[in-house]
A and B are shown apart, each in its own frame.
Chain A
Amino acid sequence: MNLKITNLSKTYKNGVKALDNLNLEIGTGMFGLLGPNGAGKSSLMRTIATLQKPDSGSIEFDGADILQDQMSLRKVLGYLPQEFGVYPNMSAESLLDYFAQLKGISSKKERQEIIKQVLEVTNLYEVRMKFVNGYSGGMKQRFGIAQLLLNNPKLIIVDEPTSGLDPAERHRFLNVLREIGTNHTVIFSTHIVDDVKELCNEVAILNGGKILTKGTPTAVIAALQGTIWTKVIDRESLEENEKKFNVISSNYNQDNTLNIRVQSTEQPDEAFVMAAPQLEDVYFVALKKDTVLC
């Protein structure tokens, strides 16, 4: 299974360049797409999911041009948008039956079987007769996974599924996703670095419609080995440090001092201690570079 994106560009009416000559190749497994809000993650995912047409570029899935032949992709696609609603006053069971029909399962018996299965997987079986529009956020996201599984998809696209979930829900959600990801291609976008850290075989960092970094988590972290330095400073001296050093992140300690992390091939000064690079560092480094370039 292979998804190949070539020279993809999209500019919106208001002038925002959501995708900027983007190139990307994705194979089997979990693919994490990391980027800040407004980076173009959703635009990219919607474009792959055939909901939106790019201005230029091409997308191929297993050799088929999905911008031309959308149906062939839709047959193998499972998509969970960042935000969705459902027809009101319909139970999970009847909505899933509705989706199962849309996904081409003609036999009623088969529909019933698979619906039962996906409800169990997502732990919604107990509440299958309840109206989905009355579900809590986590249940609704699980319902989103349930509908996505109905056509046994090869390509799964989930757009920021964990935002807004409580820790337990998030955990459970990621487990289910991981389970699916073993045999399928799962593209998973998030702005939460931890999500990716825990799950993904491969990760790309996206900003301003461009891929900044791409690789396995281990590889991208390894690339920063020996270049991340940390120091504790006063709040007052932050600006000074930022001027002097390439500060990639800073965060408060409880005593109101700050931890700053700096990227540098050499030790910036004696007060800095070398730190083991984190995926987060990769993310910030990538964004920082991108900003400087602009």
Chain B
Amino acid sequence: MLGTIFTFEVKRWLTNPSFYIYAGLFFIFSLLMMGGALGIFDGLTVTASSNTFVNSPIALNGLINGLSTFTYFLVPTIIGASIYKDFKYNMHTILFSYPFTKMDYLLGKFLSSLFIVILIVATIGVATYLASFLPGINQDLLGSYSIVAYLQIYCIFVIPNLFFYGVIVFAIVTISRNISVGFIAVIVLLFIDGVIGGYTRDADNRYLAGILDPSGSEALSYYTQYWTASEKNANLLPFESVMIYNRLLWLGVAVVIFILLYRYFSFTQTALTFGKSKNVERVTKNNFGGITRIKLPNTTFDYSTKNNLKTAWNLSNIDFVFIVKNWVFISIVIVGLLFILLTSLTSGVIFGTSTYPTTWQMLEIPGSTFGLFINLLTFLFAGILTHHGATTRMNHLVDVTPTPNWVFLVSKFLAVVKMQIVLLAVILIAGVAIQTYHGYFNFEIGHYLYELYFIKLINFIIWAFLAFFIQTLFKNYLLGFFVLLVLSIGLAYLPAIGVEQAVFRFNSDSGFQYSDMNGYGSSLPLYFLYKGYWFMLGLALFGLTLLFWTRGMGQKASARLKDAKDRFNGKKALLIRLSLIGFLGLGATFYYQNNILHEYESNLDNEKAQANWEKKYKKYQNFIQPRITAINVDIALYPEKRDFVASGTYILKNKSKQAIDSILINYNDFKTEVKFAVASKLVSKDSVFNFDIYKLDKPLAVGDSIVMNFEIKNEPNSIFRSNSPVIGNGTFINNSIFPSIGYSDKSELTDDDVRKTYGLKPKERMANPTDSIARMNTYISNDADWVQFETTISTAGDQIAIAPGYLQKQWKKDGRNYFHYKMDQKMLNFYAYNSANYVFKKDQWKNVAIEIYYQEGHEYNLDRMISAVKKSLDYYTTNFSPYQHKQVRIIEYPKTLGQFAQSYANTIPFSEGIGFIAAVDDEDQDAVDYPFSVTSHEIAHQWWAHQVIGANVQGATMLSESLSEYSSLKVLEHQYGKSQMRKFLKDALDKYLQGRTRERKKEQPLMYNESQQYIHYNKGSLVFYALSDFIGEKKLNGVLKAYLQKVAFQDAPYTNSIELVTMLKEATPDSLKYTIKDMFETITLYDNNISNVTSKKLKNGKYQVDIQFNVAKYRSDDQGARIFKDSNGKTITYKKKGDEIGLSSLPINDFIEIGIFKQDEVKDKKIEKQLHLKKYRISKIDNKLSIIVDEKPTEVGVDPFNKLIDTNSDDNRRKL
């Protein structure tokens, strides 16, 4: 019987067109995604490139699982509906009298519909394979297809997940006889997935998340999170313990649910309902057959538009109540609320420290996920309401009333908008609740209301227009829902096929950003213009919806089309015509502004321009040019109009050994005029690349200087276009807006695959450290060495403007503020301007003035920052060299311009997003005081960048960023003790290991890094901290001090990493010299773990701990492949009895730390007490140690503090 039901159901589906629609949609979508990744759209958009294969098992897994997530939305309509439809069409009364068992029926229904869904997801896999046969794909991106990989992906993830989702939805729909409830289940499960994903940002939670994540993706990434390019290309998916536990857990849950369903289910004919019982009452009939006289009261009928509007409003309330009472809605509100509350716990956390729950952050937490919830409900309820009459079979009663169609549409539309309003209110309520919970009472209700209802609501309303239109076209609202879902997601991929402009993408806009400093800035007018544009289309869609509105009996498509034509008259036609005119008019205006008035630069255009720039001007790269030696700029900022005007002078000096007759000027899109104080001719002007060549009448002799004057201002801003970096409050611009001298290779294409398409040779991102030409420049400027700097800034009357140097004079003129700054000594050609309505706080360290300019209300961490400045100056002046300035200024700037701090001479612009609103918990050992550490890092740059500046070669940033990280870590350690180190270093290790998996070109050893952030920051801090641990802080600082003395403020050729590493090597004892090679010169990783540990109490009351542990070390090539052989081809191995695969390692003779710990409780807080910590010299993989400690140990670790780089740091410790 089971077989009969199964085949019957499958046949039924295979003859149903919707099966082919679903399968086709997935097939085409997958084909396009895969094809896009393989470069079939290269001619339409930027070149697809990757250093990993697009069809590697892990990449295929990501793609197939990502796409199959959408099939979960089909589960209610296919698996859920399998039994539901028997009820819907009253088949169950007949079916249930047939001779099959419950098990036959349930299993037959479930398995057949599951099989159909599996057929649909199978098309994804087929499409990813067939995509490789599409024309125009880049074969370099294609590895070999592995059938095993497909089997793994489908058998470990896709099918078990569908089984799991399927069982839950099947059970719920069978019991409740309501498909919508099935949707809730899907959304709840996806929500759980999302929340768990959020928790994995903290590495400590990943094991648990791996087991609990229903989709299993966190379990997989537990093993693959640190896979390098080489590993991604070579490895099949792992299937290890966390994954096995995860799969067993969720399959188990599914099976239990199915068994419970089996036991509950009986062929009864009523659905499970809640809360109905109180309405039960015996109803008896009376007054049979009586004859009554019917006299109806006289009523007045009002068919006016005004009354219709009133009716529409009243009806919308009825529909709204219907939505609000619907379980789908209630569940999503609860889920959404939980989502916001749970997300708030992890969002905005940096180094374990969260921020104060400001209102803008509360508004950001719901993010796109909550927006998606609102859209899902909009799509769903637009459909449910549109077909409410038909599904309840009340439509024939309603349709014969003298109420025009628009009243029905308006009422349902209003009901959906009211629902959106309620959902947005959830954000407000959740936000205020979170703020209250954290004891933060600055609620800014006005800001909530403004953003939610004034700015955001219209976005959802426009979606509602589309939703009603689509849902009116489809008879089946679930199909309509799915089409809307695919449309809304597909829109996000339009840029991938070259459709980038917002004007062509439904409901796209220019976005808006908020910061405490600058509010919404100037972003809103254009945003509303775009929304107005799409609203016009929405109105037209509303008109079209009326044309296609179903009234009475359903009709075939051609008849509906004819009806629509017949209905196209009167006010409907006027509405459609007018709104289309408005839509097209605005659209044309956008198009004109963005494409004709200003040429539109697509990403592809930019790519081409980069290639052309190089082809045309690369020849000038080493063209000898004079150097800027002095700068004097006069700049006026107009925050109200967001304009600036600047004029400046460069003194250019010929520092070369030959006369110079041509000067190459490289400038921006701003209106720029350049003049020389001596006679010259413009011999080449390039307004595309903004690159001009001037010929001096009289060549500039060796050692001589000339004056270059320039004037620069922005094109006027318009509502459509911002042509200036100046903003209303909080301007932060740097010297890159001014002209520079000579060719710059900064804008060359760096990706070798992309370079190849344009016929360019592969290139290194940076020159070799020994490249003598490259060493003539610092890595931050190619037209200057050290410069004299002076500037005058003017700004609005209520703002303070700041630039490097010391304030010489300040005055007011015509209601504007003027500031004259001058640096008293040479500095790098690297400066910035800040202007805002600041308040400030001042302090003093010895003779150094400390000033913080900040946004009022952001006082939280000023004292921490000041303390960090003082502690840093203390440490750096004591250990390194004197501070070259008499002042330290920290200047806040809006988070919309970036989330970083940056050190200029005596001036540190500091984003409001990273520290000013941090809520530091001094009690929490796992929370880093990052306002302190960031400040400390930036102060360190006054030495490491502003005194020692690396040449423009590989490894340069080790000398600035890594050393600044090290310096600030030391200050932090002295301030807070080692406990803060653990969190910081663990985070750094995680970020380094994550970073190398995203490397697009090649991973470099630290001393050859090519400005790679995960290397110079994260690995750099680990390496220098470990080195100070190995050779001692004093010794390391001694080397740094000597290095500073040698190279600080030097002229070209500039220092490189080799010079520092050589000095470090000299200071390192021979037994530890291997660390220099491991940490600086090569990419070296350890694989250390405890394999067994026991402890026993001795007679003298002490404890003997026997530890077995493995130590293995390997090098990595630049693609992340592991190498176990040293340069002599030697390797060591170890194979435990019974193990199939042994362990390999480079030959070692390394110092490895072994620690024994005890959990202590001090004042209810768990504190780890060290019983033993010592470095042991280790020369083989498997090791045994027996250590005696005084107290009862609870935990043992090999390299317990993760000072060494190890991709699995969790197995370094083991509890007893």
Contact = CB atoms under 8 A, between A and B. Distances in A.
Given A104-B301, A179-B292, A89 B325 contact: yes
A42 to B, nearest CB: 10
A87 B396 contact: no
B397 A84 contact: yes
A144 B292 CA distance: 17
Nearest to B284: A126
Contact of A85 (B283, B307, B394, B404): B394
Given A87-B322, A123-B287, A152 B299 contact: yes
B288 A104 contact: no
Contacts of B325: 89
Contact of B552 (A52, A94, A147): A52
Q: Which of A46, A106, A152 has the most CB of B within 10 A?
A: A106
Interface stretch (B310-318, B537-545, B792-800): B310-318
A74 B552 CA distance: 12
Contact of B401 (A46, A74, A88): A74
A147 B397 contact: yes
Interface stretch (A95-103, A190-198, A239-247, A269-277): A95-103
A176 to B, nearest CB: 7
A168 B400 contact: no
A176 B294 contact: yes
A83 B401 CA distance: 17
Interface stretch (A31-39, A113-121, A218-226): A113-121
Interface string B291-322: 11111110111110001001100110010001
Interface string B389-411: 00011101111111110000000
Nearest to A43: B553
A171 interface: yes
B388 interface: yes
Interface in A106-162: 106-107, 110-111, 113-114, 117-118, 120-121, 123, 127, 130-131, 134, 136, 138-139, 144, 147, 149, 151-152
A75 B303 CA distance: 9
A119 to B, nearest CB: 12
Contacts of A139: 283
Nearest to A134: B279
B318 A98 contact: yes
B292 A101 contact: no
Contacts of A79: 396-397, 400
Contacts of B388: 87
B598 interface: no
B315 A176 contact: no
Interface in A74-93: 74-75, 77, 79, 81, 83-89
B283 A77 contact: no
B263 interface: no
B396 A136 contact: no
A113 B289 contact: no
B746 interface: no
Q: Which of B287, B310, B394, B404 has the most CB of A within 10 A?
A: B394
A127 B404 CA distance: 31
A103 B401 contact: yes
Contacts, number: 149
A201 interface: no
B702 to A, nearest CB: 93
B671 to A, nearest CB: 64
B394 A118 contact: no
Given A46-B552, A121-B292, A71 B394 contact: no
Given A98-B315, A114-B296, A127 B283 contact: yes
B1165 interface: no
Q: Is the interface of B mostly helix, strand, loop or mixed?
A: loop
B289 A168 contact: yes
A52 B283 CA distance: 37
Nearest to A138: B285
A75 B301 contact: yes
Contact of A99 (B294, B397, B556): B397
Given A98-B315, A113-B297, A152-B299, A85 B292 contact: no
A78 to B, nearest CB: 8
B290 interface: yes
A90 B928 CA distance: 58
A49 interface: yes
Interface in A15-73: 46, 49-53, 71
Interface in A163-214: 168-169, 171-172, 175-176, 179-180
Interface string B262-293: 00000000000000000101010111111111
B300 A107 contact: yes
B270 to A, nearest CB: 12
A60 B553 CA distance: 20
A249 to B, nearest CB: 30
Contact of B392 (A53, A86, A171, A175): A86
A279 interface: no
Contact of A83 (B289, B297, B300, B393): B393
A54 to B, nearest CB: 12
A105 interface: yes
A110 B293 contact: no
B676 to A, nearest CB: 82
Nearest to B562: A53
Given A49-B400, A131-B279, A168-B285, A104 B302 contact: yes
B296 A152 contact: yes
Contacts of A110: 297, 299-300
B137 to A, nearest CB: 45
Nearest to B559: A53
Q: Which of B289, B315, B397, B563 has the most CB of A within 10 A?
A: B397
Contact of B297 (A114, A123, A134): A114
B404 A71 contact: yes
Interface in B860-886: none
Contacts of B281: 130
B402 A179 contact: no
A114 B322 contact: no
Contacts of A179: 291-294
Contact of A84 (B289, B394, B402, B404): B394
A71 B293 CA distance: 29
Nearest to A170: B289
A53 to B, nearest CB: 8
Contacts of A114: 296-297, 299
Contact of B302 (A46, A88, A106): A106
Interface in B1031-1089: none
A147 to B, nearest CB: 6
A131 to B, nearest CB: 7
Given A51-B396, A99-B397, A168-B289, A105 B402 contact: no
A81 B289 contact: no
A105 B300 contact: yes
A107 B298 CA distance: 12
Contacts of B279: 130-131, 134
Nearest to B318: A98
Q: Which of B318, B399, B402 has the most CB of A within 10 A?
A: B402
Contacts of A171: 288-289
Interface string A256-294: 000000000000000000000000000000000000000
A87 B552 CA distance: 17
Contacts of B403: 102-104
Contacts of A168: 285, 288-289
B402 A74 contact: yes
Contacts of A111: 299
Contact of A87 (B285, B287, B394): B394
13 contacts: A88-B392, A101-B315, A102-B311, A102-B398, A102-B403, A104-B302, A104-B303, A117-B297, A123-B287, A130-B279, A131-B279, A139-B283, A175-B289
Given A106-B307, A107-B300, 5 more contacts: A50-B400, A52-B552, A75-B301, A110-B299, A121-B292
Interface of B: 279, 281, 283, 285-297, 299-303, 307, 310-311, 314-315, 318, 322, 325, 388, 392-394, 396-404, 551-553, 556, 559, 563
